[in-house]
Amino acid sequence: MGLTTMFMVLLPVLGSIFVLKVPYPGKFELDAERANILAKFDDYYSGAVEWGAEQPSHDEANNKDAAERYFTLITDFFEYGWGDAFHMSPLKEGYSFKASMAYWEQNFALEMGLKPDMRVADLGMGIGGPLRRISEFTGANITGLTNCVHQVNRAKTITEQRISSQWHKDRCTYLVGDYNKLPAIMEENTYDAAYFLESLSHSENRVPPLSEARRIVKPGGIVAGWQWMLRPEFNYSDPYHMELKRGMEYGGGLRNLNKPSERHLEYEAAGLEVLGSWDMGMQAIERGWNGWWTSLTSGHDIPSTLTSSHFGRKLTMWTVWVLETIGVAEKGTLRTAEMLEHCGYSAAVAGEMHIFTPAWVTIARVPPAPKGE
């Protein structure tokens, strides 16, 4: 693309940022300097910027902090590129990107069997987009948790600004906390269900968060995951597969992506019974939907083409480059955009190759027998 075209496209974007005050990536103030957080993040994934098949060394103690830093860095990018839900979903012709996302959130809620007034925990809630839609759809009372203070603040602001119904507000609660060790307020045997919506793979070892979910959910209750996972076809001995895996892990703030058979052992180690497990991405394709990766490659509708598609992400990078160069966006904003671009690219390629999915659903339950037997 020539420079002239680039500026013709950039101008309206910059115009809408300054004139219409559309939030741009890097707009919201962080509680630490972006460049500083990035340096720590890179340190955690030491050597990760030199893309290659070699995996970064594990650093379990730093895992929680890495996820927190990651989400502090990327939250406003995701709000800009994806809206209030930071997950991927299959897409349907004639449905907008947002309607497609909401459709599969509802499908997930249905699979979990959520009902009005159930007490439900959303562990790793992001800024609570899915939580708000699932509580509205099912009538369940959902408490969301994230270890990122920035995200809880955004969730509360959005709820104040966009939710007009008191009925709905009464069913959305947000907490700051670590899903590896849930806050005391989330008591044992008090929830009807708990779910992880694209949040479980941020933990290097999934047993602690799953064990915590098992602890707070009543016997017989559901613990469900919608997860970034390698599909069974993924080949650990193939250097190209491994390079894509690493690109997704670094840019996605993830660790140690694994396959369904390996993930099930983690559910079982947490004392859960796996009832069912499948790739919702492929399920949707069978039903005539487009692959979830479309939003990352060509784009699905006009808004997603402008922000999340391959072209949209380039546009975001140019925008951010301009904003950072003229001193409007903080230093390190472009690097954050590049990191996300690499993740988006790797995920799209791996998706088209059918070796990865961001929507592997696992439905498990807490054994119905009394606990502590």
Ligand X SMILES: *[C@@H]1O[C@H](CO)[C@@H](O)[C@H](O)[C@H]1NC(C)=O
Tell me the CA distances in angstroms from 300 to 68, 83, 215, 316, 352, one per residue in order: 30, 14, 40, 17, 15
> Is the CB of 244 or the CB of 284 nearer to ligand X?
244
55, 62, 96, 141: residue in contact with ligand X (rule CB under 6 A): 141
> Is the CB of 238 or the CB of 273 nearer to ligand X?
238
Provide, rounded to whole angstroms, the least separation between the CB of residue 170 and ligand X.
4
User: Is residue 135 a contact point for ligand X (CB under 6 A)?
Assistant: no
Q: Is the dihedral of CA 331, 334, 338, 341 positive or negative?
A: positive
User: For residue 146, which of 101, 202, 187 has the smallest C-alpha distance?
Assistant: 202
Cβ atoms 368, 220 nearer than 8 A: yes
User: Is residue 238 a contact point for ligand X (CB under 6 A)?
Assistant: yes
Strands 191-197 and 273-279: unpaired
> Is the CB of 102 or the CB of 121 nearer to ligand X?
121
Provide, rounded to whole angstroms, the least separation between the CB of residue 257 and ligand X.
17
> Is the CB of 67 or the CB of 142 nearer to ligand X?
142
Distance CA 52, CA 61 (A): 24
Scanning the structure block, which residue is given the tokens 């954050």?
A: 336
> Is the CB of 78 or the CB of 174 nearer to ligand X?
174
| Helix, strand or coil, per DSSP, at residue 345 | helix
- Run of H or E residues at 307: helix 302-307
> Is the CB of 183 or the CB of 276 nearer to ligand X?
183
36-56 exposure pattern, b = at least 16 Cβ within 10 A, e = fewer? ebbeebeebbeebeeeeeeee
> Is the CB of 135 or the CB of 316 nearer to ligand X?
135
- Site residues for ligand X, 158-217, by CB under 6 A, read 170-171, 173
Provide, rounded to whole angstroms, the least separation between the CB of residue 247 and ligand X.
18
Q: Is the dihedral of CA 199, 201, 205, 207 positive or negative?
A: positive
User: Is residue 237 a contact point for ligand X (CB under 6 A)?
Assistant: yes
Phi, then psi, of 142 in degrees rounded to 5: -110, 130
143, 151, 307, 319: residue in contact with ligand X (rule CB under 6 A): 143
Provide, rounded to whole angstroms, the least separation between the CB of residue 350 and ligand X.
15
If binding means CB under 6 A, how many residues of this protein chain bind ligand X?
Answer: 8
Contacting range for ligand X; rule: CB under 6 A; set: 7-15, 203-211, 235-243, 332-340: 235-243
| Site residues, ligand X (CB under 6 A) | 141, 143, 170-171, 173, 235, 237-238
